Amino acid sequence: MTEVPDYLFERSRERRRALGLLSDDGEAGGGAAAAAPALASPVAAAPVAAAIAPHVEPTKPLSPAAQSAISRDKVPMWILPVLFLLPIWGFTYVQLLEDDAPIPDTALNRGAMVFATNQCASCHGGTGGGGVGYQLNEGEALLTFPTVDPMLDWIASGTEAWGVGNAIGDPNRPGGAHIAGDRAVMPGFSQTLSESDIYAVARFVREQLAGEELTPEQIADRDLHWEDLGGGGGGGGGHGDGHG
Ligand code: HEC
C-alpha cells in the first residue's frame, strides 16, 4: 500500500495552515477567522512548533515526478492474475499456431488424404482391414502386388478395364490368386485421380497400411519419382531430369 512519509503530511498541513484552510488542531475548513483563536491556545500551538523543526523544509515542494513516485502503488494488484495467466495464454497460443500449421506436403500425407477422400477407406476400411474390397494391411496388398507398377495400373483401371477373370497382380499369390470380378467391382481412378495422386495413394497403401520395408535410398527414390509426376510443392512439372 501507499506509504506517505509523515513529514509530507506535515508539510501539507503546514501549507494549508498558511492558506488558512486548516486549523491547528488538524480540522479542515476553519479559515483564518477560526484559526486565530486556536493559535491563541498554547496546547494547540505545540504541533506547530514541532512542524517547523529544523529538518523540515516546508517551502520546497517535491517535483511532480517525485510526488507520483511516492504516491504510486509499487506493484499494482491486477498484475498478479495477469502474471499468473501469461504462461497459460502463451502455451495455448503456441498450440493454436501449431494446429494451424499446414500438414507437410509429402507423398504419404497426400496418399492418406486421397485414401480417405476417394472411398478407398469406405470399401477397404480406414486402416485397410478390408470390407467390400480386400484387406490391404498386414502385408496383404504386398502379396498381391510385390512391385509398385502393376498396382498403379490396377488402381487406375479398376475391375472392368482390368478385365473380369484376369488375376489381380501376382498369379502365384500365396494362398491363391485374386481374380478380378470374383469379389465385387472396384471402380477405376484414371479419370478422377492424377498420376501423382495414384502414386501417392499406392505408396500409402504399401508403406503405411501394408508395412512395406524400404531403405532410406528407396524412399528417397520414390519421393523424387512422386515429384517428377507433379506431386509436392507447387504441383509443378517435376525436375525434368528423367528420373524414374
Ligand atoms: C466401391 C468399393 C471400392 C473402392 C471405392 C475402392 N476399392 Fe479397391 N477394391 C475393391 C474391390 C471389390 C476389390 C476387388 C476387385 C474385384 O474383385 O474385381 C478391390 C481391390 C483392390 C486392390 C487389390 C487388393 C488385392 O489384394 O487383390 C487394391 C490394392 C485396392 N483395391 C486399392 C484401392 C484404392 C487405393 C482405392 C482408392 C483410390 C480403392 N481400392 C477404392 C473395392 C473398392
Number of structural domains (the chain) is 2
Which pLDDT score, from 0 to 100, does residue 130 have? Answer: 97
225 and 113 both lie in a single domain: yes
Q: Decide if 231 contacts 196 (C-beta within 8 A).
A: yes
The reply to whether ligand 1 has any atom less than 6 angstroms from the CB of 200 is no
The reply to whether ligand 1 has any atom less than 6 angstroms from the CB of 150 is no
Query: Which of these three, 61, 76, 97, is where a domain ends?
Result: 61
The reply to whether ligand 1 has any atom less than 6 angstroms from the CB of 203 is no
- Identify the CA nearest to 139 among candidates 218, 213, 210, 227: 210
Q: Decide if 25 contacts 36 (C-beta within 8 A).
A: no
Q: Decide if 146 contacts 164 (C-beta within 8 A).
A: no
* Segment among 4-18, 57-71, 127-141, 199-213 with least mean pLDDT: 57-71
- Give this prediction's pTM: 0.64
How far is residue 104's CA from residue 223's CA, in Å, rounded to a whole number? 13
pLDDT at 53 over 70: no
Confidence band for 9, pLDDT divided at 50, 70 and 90: confident
147 and 224 both lie in a single domain: yes
pLDDT digits (tens, 9 = 90+) for 79-96: 888 888 888 888 888 877
116 and 187 both lie in a single domain: yes
Comparison of pLDDT for 88 and 74, the residue scoring more: 88
pLDDT digits (tens, 9 = 90+) for 92-149: 888 777 777 778 999 999 999 999 999 999 999 999 999 999 999 999 999 999 999 9
**Atom in ligand 1 nearest the alpha carbon of residue 159:** 18
In a domain, 88, yes or no: no
CA of 10 to the centre of ligand 1 (A): 95
202 and 124 both lie in a single domain: yes
The reply to whether ligand 1 has any atom less than 6 angstroms from the CB of 132 is yes
123 CB neighbour count, 10 Å cutoff:
15
Which pLDDT score, from 0 to 100, does residue 243 have? Answer: 42
- Identify the CA nearest to 235 among candidates 198, 194, 202, 192: 194
Domain ranges, residue 147: 107-235
How far is residue 51's CA from residue 31's CA, in Å, rounded to a whole number? 19
The reply to whether ligand 1 has any atom less than 6 angstroms from the CB of 208 is no
In a domain, 77, yes or no: no
118 and 224 both lie in a single domain: yes
CA of 124 to the centre of ligand 1 (A): 7
Q: Decide if 168 contacts 160 (C-beta within 8 A).
A: no
56 and 111 both lie in a single domain: no
In a domain, 90, yes or no: no
Closest C-alpha to ligand 1, atom 34: 120
- Identify the CA nearest to 185 among candidates 165, 170, 203: 165
